[in-house]
Structure 1
Amino acid sequence: DIVQWEIEPLGHGYTIRNVGTDTYLSVVEIENTAPIFATHFPVAWYFRRVNVQEEVDPCYEICWPHTPYKFELALADPEAEERRRRVR
């Protein structure tokens, strides 16, 4: 199944919304490796532009505002059994 995400401005950050379920990404708690989950309440994420020499297009870190925690997609191997999203 293809999941479509929409990123929209909210205050000084951006929401990340699942178009199919009309839910937003948030975290259970603000700590290292906290699980990310879907909620009906929008939250603002901070998008920080980073320079990656190998990439032509802009790259961004998605962070929880005012913290060192970053959104990490642990999906490098598409055949992996565990597909987790976490804040790092």
Structure 2
Amino acid sequence: MTLGTWGATALVLPDDEEHVFPHWVSPATIHAEVGDGDVQIQRRNATGDDWTTIETLSEDCSRILDVKNMPAMRILPTGSAQFMVVWAKNGA
């Protein structure tokens, strides 16, 4: 799955290496169509060995994600949920 496209598989941001988001990064927008599931926004737990859900999107929505100085996050859809993440640099 790539930024700016709809998908139903987990996505780790900013990259698969799980880097920290820099202080200068612009906000992202997540669009969710949850169907019979939800979309979970997760970060690593304190020990770094598992993901913990920090927010659950359980209704169709669009939401701004302010990710400056944040650790890597994982977007995890469940059931038939789909989502799309867009940054201004993607042209949207």
Bin for the TM-score computed over the shorter chain: under 0.3
TM-score by length of 1: 0.26
- Structure possessing the higher radius of gyration over alpha carbons: 1
